[in-house]
Structure 1
Amino acid sequence: MEGTVSANSRLTIATHALTWIGLYQQRGHEVATSEQIATSVNTNPVVIRRLLATLSKAGLVVSRRGAGAGWMLGRDLAAITLLDVYQAIEPGPVFAMHPATPNPGCVVGHGIGPALTTVYDDVEAALRRQLASTTLQDVLQDILKAS
Protein backbone atom coordinates (compact mmCIF):
# COMPACT_ATOMS: atom_id res chain seq x y z
CA MET A 1 0.00 0.00 0.00
CA GLU A 2 1.23 3.49 -0.81
CA GLY A 3 1.73 6.14 1.84
CA THR A 4 -0.43 8.59 -0.12
CA VAL A 5 -3.61 6.54 0.33
CA SER A 6 -5.71 8.26 2.97
CA ALA A 7 -8.20 6.74 5.36
CA ASN A 8 -11.89 7.16 4.69
CA SER A 9 -12.71 10.77 5.59
CA ARG A 10 -16.48 10.71 5.01
CA LEU A 11 -17.28 10.69 8.75
CA THR A 12 -14.94 13.63 9.32
CA ILE A 13 -16.37 15.63 6.42
CA ALA A 14 -19.97 14.87 7.46
CA THR A 15 -19.24 15.82 11.07
CA HIS A 16 -17.54 19.03 9.89
CA ALA A 17 -20.50 19.96 7.69
CA LEU A 18 -23.15 19.24 10.32
CA THR A 19 -21.24 21.02 13.09
CA TRP A 20 -20.71 24.04 10.80
CA ILE A 21 -24.44 24.18 9.99
CA GLY A 22 -25.23 23.93 13.72
CA LEU A 23 -22.89 26.78 14.63
CA TYR A 24 -24.22 28.87 11.72
CA GLN A 25 -27.78 28.33 12.97
CA GLN A 26 -26.78 29.08 16.58
CA ARG A 27 -25.42 32.39 15.31
CA GLY A 28 -28.86 33.35 13.99
CA HIS A 29 -28.85 32.09 10.40
CA GLU A 30 -31.69 29.91 9.19
CA VAL A 31 -30.16 27.96 6.30
CA ALA A 32 -26.64 27.29 5.03
CA THR A 33 -25.72 26.82 1.39
CA SER A 34 -23.56 23.98 0.16
CA GLU A 35 -21.15 26.63 -1.14
CA GLN A 36 -20.72 28.11 2.36
CA ILE A 37 -20.20 24.68 3.92
CA ALA A 38 -17.76 23.69 1.14
CA THR A 39 -15.69 26.80 1.85
CA SER A 40 -15.20 25.68 5.46
CA VAL A 41 -14.48 22.06 4.49
CA ASN A 42 -12.27 23.26 1.61
CA THR A 43 -13.89 21.01 -0.97
CA ASN A 44 -16.19 21.25 -3.96
CA PRO A 45 -19.86 22.12 -3.23
CA VAL A 46 -20.90 19.05 -5.27
CA VAL A 47 -19.13 16.83 -2.70
CA ILE A 48 -21.06 18.57 0.07
CA ARG A 49 -24.39 18.31 -1.78
CA ARG A 50 -23.94 14.55 -2.27
CA LEU A 51 -23.03 14.06 1.37
CA LEU A 52 -25.93 16.21 2.58
CA ALA A 53 -28.33 14.24 0.38
CA THR A 54 -27.19 11.07 2.18
CA LEU A 55 -27.51 12.77 5.59
CA SER A 56 -30.96 14.01 4.59
CA LYS A 57 -32.20 10.43 4.08
CA ALA A 58 -31.26 9.77 7.71
CA GLY A 59 -33.11 12.92 8.87
CA LEU A 60 -29.94 14.67 10.05
CA VAL A 61 -30.43 17.61 7.67
CA VAL A 62 -33.38 19.11 5.84
CA SER A 63 -33.16 21.01 2.58
CA ARG A 64 -35.18 24.07 1.67
CA ARG A 65 -35.80 24.81 -1.99
CA GLY A 66 -36.64 28.02 -3.82
CA ALA A 67 -35.83 31.50 -2.55
CA GLY A 68 -33.53 31.26 0.47
CA ALA A 69 -32.64 27.68 -0.41
CA GLY A 70 -30.16 25.81 1.72
CA TRP A 71 -29.67 23.25 4.44
CA MET A 72 -30.80 23.13 8.09
CA LEU A 73 -30.20 20.56 10.79
CA GLY A 74 -32.93 17.97 11.14
CA ARG A 75 -32.27 17.83 14.89
CA ASP A 76 -30.37 19.91 17.40
CA LEU A 77 -26.59 19.33 17.59
CA ALA A 78 -27.04 17.91 21.10
CA ALA A 79 -29.45 15.28 19.69
CA ILE A 80 -27.07 14.02 16.98
CA THR A 81 -24.32 11.60 17.97
CA LEU A 82 -21.29 10.64 15.95
CA LEU A 83 -22.90 7.19 15.73
CA ASP A 84 -25.94 8.75 14.02
CA VAL A 85 -23.63 10.36 11.46
CA TYR A 86 -21.58 7.20 11.03
CA GLN A 87 -24.65 5.01 10.47
CA ALA A 88 -26.03 7.48 7.92
CA ILE A 89 -22.90 7.45 5.75
CA GLU A 90 -21.32 4.04 6.50
CA PRO A 91 -24.27 1.65 6.77
CA GLY A 92 -22.25 -1.58 6.52
CA PRO A 93 -19.88 -3.19 8.98
CA VAL A 94 -16.39 -1.78 9.54
CA PHE A 95 -14.74 -5.02 8.41
CA ALA A 96 -16.07 -7.73 6.12
CA MET A 97 -15.19 -11.33 5.42
CA HIS A 98 -13.89 -12.54 2.06
CA PRO A 99 -16.24 -11.79 -0.84
CA ALA A 100 -15.77 -15.42 -1.97
CA THR A 101 -15.66 -18.39 0.38
CA PRO A 102 -12.04 -19.36 1.15
CA ASN A 103 -10.88 -22.90 0.49
CA PRO A 104 -12.48 -25.05 3.23
CA GLY A 105 -9.88 -27.72 2.62
CA CYS A 106 -7.13 -25.37 3.80
CA VAL A 107 -6.68 -25.09 7.57
CA VAL A 108 -6.44 -21.26 7.37
CA GLY A 109 -9.24 -21.00 4.79
CA HIS A 110 -11.48 -23.10 7.04
CA GLY A 111 -10.76 -21.22 10.26
CA ILE A 112 -10.21 -17.58 9.24
CA GLY A 113 -13.90 -16.61 9.32
CA PRO A 114 -14.70 -17.80 12.84
CA ALA A 115 -11.36 -16.51 14.16
CA LEU A 116 -11.87 -12.99 12.83
CA THR A 117 -15.64 -12.70 13.34
CA THR A 118 -15.28 -12.47 17.13
CA VAL A 119 -12.56 -9.82 16.88
CA TYR A 120 -14.49 -7.82 14.28
CA ASP A 121 -17.70 -7.97 16.34
CA ASP A 122 -15.83 -6.67 19.41
CA VAL A 123 -14.23 -3.84 17.40
CA GLU A 124 -17.60 -2.89 15.92
CA ALA A 125 -19.24 -2.83 19.37
CA ALA A 126 -16.45 -0.66 20.83
CA LEU A 127 -16.61 1.72 17.87
CA ARG A 128 -20.38 2.12 18.19
CA ARG A 129 -20.16 2.69 21.97
CA GLN A 130 -17.50 5.37 21.52
CA LEU A 131 -19.32 7.17 18.70
CA ALA A 132 -22.63 7.03 20.60
CA SER A 133 -21.05 8.77 23.59
CA THR A 134 -20.23 11.96 21.65
CA THR A 135 -22.77 14.45 20.32
CA LEU A 136 -22.11 17.08 17.70
CA GLN A 137 -22.66 19.67 20.44
CA ASP A 138 -19.71 18.05 22.28
CA VAL A 139 -17.64 18.35 19.09
CA LEU A 140 -18.60 22.02 18.70
CA GLN A 141 -17.74 22.77 22.35
CA ASP A 142 -14.29 21.20 21.88
CA ILE A 143 -13.78 23.23 18.69
CA LEU A 144 -14.75 26.50 20.37
CA LYS A 145 -12.54 25.76 23.40
CA ALA A 146 -9.55 25.19 21.12
CA SER A 147 -10.03 28.41 19.14
Structure 2
Amino acid sequence: MRKDSRLSRMLHILIHMDHMEEAATSDHIATILNTNPVVVRRTMGCLREHNYVTSLKGHGGGWRLNVALEDITLLDIHNALGESSVFTIGLGDEHTECLIEEAVNRELASALEAAEALLLKRFGDISLAMLAKDFNT
Protein backbone atom coordinates (compact mmCIF):
# COMPACT_ATOMS: atom_id res chain seq x y z
CA MET A 1 0.00 0.00 0.00
CA ARG A 2 1.34 3.42 -0.94
CA LYS A 3 2.01 5.83 1.89
CA ASP A 4 0.59 9.35 1.89
CA SER A 5 3.63 11.63 1.92
CA ARG A 6 1.75 14.90 1.38
CA LEU A 7 2.32 16.09 4.95
CA SER A 8 6.07 15.57 4.83
CA ARG A 9 6.32 17.09 1.37
CA MET A 10 4.29 20.18 2.25
CA LEU A 11 6.23 20.77 5.48
CA HIS A 12 9.42 20.57 3.41
CA ILE A 13 8.12 23.08 0.85
CA LEU A 14 6.67 25.52 3.40
CA ILE A 15 10.03 25.76 5.16
CA HIS A 16 11.74 26.34 1.80
CA MET A 17 9.16 29.02 0.98
CA ASP A 18 9.99 30.81 4.21
CA HIS A 19 13.53 31.29 2.88
CA MET A 20 12.48 32.44 -0.61
CA GLU A 21 12.37 36.10 -1.51
CA GLU A 22 10.17 35.54 -4.56
CA ALA A 23 6.99 33.54 -5.01
CA ALA A 24 7.55 29.84 -5.68
CA THR A 25 5.99 28.68 -8.93
CA SER A 26 4.23 25.35 -9.14
CA ASP A 27 6.91 24.29 -11.64
CA HIS A 28 9.70 25.14 -9.20
CA ILE A 29 8.00 23.32 -6.33
CA ALA A 30 7.31 20.34 -8.60
CA THR A 31 11.01 20.19 -9.46
CA ILE A 32 11.97 20.19 -5.78
CA LEU A 33 9.45 17.43 -5.02
CA ASN A 34 10.04 15.48 -8.24
CA THR A 35 6.35 15.58 -9.10
CA ASN A 36 3.92 17.20 -11.51
CA PRO A 37 2.93 20.91 -11.20
CA VAL A 38 -0.75 19.87 -11.31
CA VAL A 39 -0.22 17.82 -8.15
CA VAL A 40 1.49 20.83 -6.55
CA ARG A 41 -1.40 23.16 -7.44
CA ARG A 42 -3.99 20.73 -6.08
CA THR A 43 -2.12 20.19 -2.82
CA MET A 44 -1.18 23.84 -2.34
CA GLY A 45 -4.83 24.68 -3.02
CA CYS A 46 -5.72 22.85 0.20
CA LEU A 47 -3.29 25.06 2.09
CA ARG A 48 -4.64 28.18 0.36
CA GLU A 49 -8.18 27.30 1.50
CA HIS A 50 -6.89 27.49 5.09
CA ASN A 51 -4.99 30.73 4.39
CA TYR A 52 -1.50 29.26 4.99
CA VAL A 53 -0.41 30.24 1.47
CA THR A 54 -1.49 32.73 -1.16
CA SER A 55 -1.34 32.21 -4.90
CA LEU A 56 -0.41 35.05 -7.20
CA LYS A 57 -1.19 34.94 -10.92
CA GLY A 58 0.75 36.36 -13.82
CA HIS A 59 4.39 37.34 -14.29
CA GLY A 60 6.19 36.97 -10.97
CA GLY A 61 3.31 34.90 -9.66
CA GLY A 62 3.40 31.70 -7.70
CA TRP A 63 2.90 30.65 -4.11
CA ARG A 64 3.78 32.71 -1.05
CA LEU A 65 3.70 31.75 2.60
CA ASN A 66 0.90 33.67 4.31
CA VAL A 67 1.60 32.77 7.94
CA ALA A 68 4.78 32.81 10.03
CA LEU A 69 6.29 29.39 10.64
CA GLU A 70 5.87 29.94 14.40
CA ASP A 71 2.12 30.09 13.87
CA ILE A 72 1.75 26.85 11.92
CA THR A 73 1.86 23.39 13.47
CA LEU A 74 2.17 19.98 11.91
CA LEU A 75 -1.43 19.40 12.98
CA ASP A 76 -2.56 22.52 11.11
CA ILE A 77 -1.05 21.27 7.87
CA HIS A 78 -2.26 17.70 8.46
CA ASN A 79 -5.81 19.03 8.92
CA ALA A 80 -5.55 21.33 5.89
CA LEU A 81 -4.55 18.39 3.72
CA GLY A 82 -7.76 16.58 4.55
CA GLU A 83 -7.13 14.74 7.79
CA SER A 84 -6.15 11.46 6.16
CA SER A 85 -5.46 8.59 8.50
CA VAL A 86 -1.95 8.62 9.89
CA PHE A 87 -1.83 4.82 9.77
CA THR A 88 -2.23 2.45 6.85
CA ILE A 89 -3.27 -0.51 9.01
CA GLY A 90 -6.78 -1.60 8.12
CA LEU A 91 -9.37 -3.80 9.76
CA GLY A 92 -10.54 -7.09 8.35
CA ASP A 93 -13.98 -7.20 6.77
CA GLU A 94 -14.05 -10.57 5.06
CA HIS A 95 -15.88 -12.39 7.87
CA THR A 96 -18.27 -9.80 9.26
CA GLU A 97 -20.25 -12.35 11.28
CA CYS A 98 -17.18 -13.97 12.87
CA LEU A 99 -16.89 -13.19 16.59
CA ILE A 100 -13.11 -13.52 16.45
CA GLU A 101 -12.80 -10.99 13.62
CA GLU A 102 -15.14 -8.69 15.52
CA ALA A 103 -12.98 -8.93 18.67
CA VAL A 104 -9.76 -8.40 16.72
CA ASN A 105 -11.19 -5.37 14.89
CA ARG A 106 -12.52 -3.86 18.10
CA GLU A 107 -9.13 -4.07 19.83
CA LEU A 108 -7.16 -2.94 16.78
CA ALA A 109 -9.50 0.01 16.26
CA SER A 110 -9.18 1.00 19.90
CA ALA A 111 -5.37 0.80 19.83
CA LEU A 112 -5.16 2.70 16.53
CA GLU A 113 -7.49 5.44 17.80
CA ALA A 114 -5.41 5.88 20.97
CA ALA A 115 -2.14 5.96 19.00
CA GLU A 116 -3.54 8.41 16.46
CA ALA A 117 -4.83 10.72 19.21
CA LEU A 118 -1.39 10.74 20.84
CA LEU A 119 0.34 11.40 17.51
CA LEU A 120 -2.03 14.21 16.54
CA LYS A 121 -1.55 15.82 19.96
CA ARG A 122 2.20 15.75 19.34
CA PHE A 123 1.67 17.24 15.85
CA GLY A 124 -0.10 20.13 17.57
CA ASP A 125 2.94 20.75 19.77
CA ILE A 126 5.41 21.11 16.88
CA SER A 127 5.56 24.33 14.90
CA LEU A 128 7.20 24.62 11.51
CA ALA A 129 9.60 27.10 13.12
CA MET A 130 10.76 24.27 15.40
CA LEU A 131 11.45 22.11 12.35
CA ALA A 132 13.28 24.97 10.64
CA LYS A 133 15.41 26.02 13.61
CA ASP A 134 18.46 24.09 12.40
CA PHE A 135 18.35 26.00 9.12
CA ASN A 136 17.87 29.45 10.63
CA THR A 137 20.98 29.58 12.82
* TM-score normalised according to structure 2 size: 0.81
Counterpart of 1:141 in structure 2 is 133
Counterpart of 2:14 in structure 1 is 18
Which of 47-56 and 29-38 deviates more?
Answer: 29-38
User: How many angstroms does 1:143 deviate by?
Assistant: 4.1
Alignment of 1:110-121 (within 5 A): 110-121=102-113
Counterpart of 1:7 in structure 2 is 3
1:42 counterpart = 2:34? yes
| Distance of 2:95 and 2:25 partners within structure 1 | 48
Secondary structure of 2:108's counterpart equals helix
Which of 90-99 and 55-64 deviates more?
Answer: 90-99
Q: Percent identity?
A: 32
The alignment covers a number of residue pairs equal to: 136
69, 93, 104: which one aligns with 1:77: 69
User: How many angstroms does 1:15 deviate by?
Assistant: 0.9
72, 77, 100: which one aligns with 1:108: 100
Q: 5+ residue gaps in structure 1?
A: none
Aligned 8 A contact 2:53 2:63 in 1: yes
Which of 32-41 and 68-77 deviates more?
Answer: 32-41
1:61 counterpart = 2:57? no
User: How many angstroms does 1:110 deviate by?
Assistant: 2.6
Which of 89-98 and 78-87 deviates more?
Answer: 89-98
CA 99–54 in structure 1, closer or farther in 2 if over 3 Å, else same:
farther
Aligned 8 A contact 1:23 1:140 in 2: no
Amino acid at match of 2:96: N
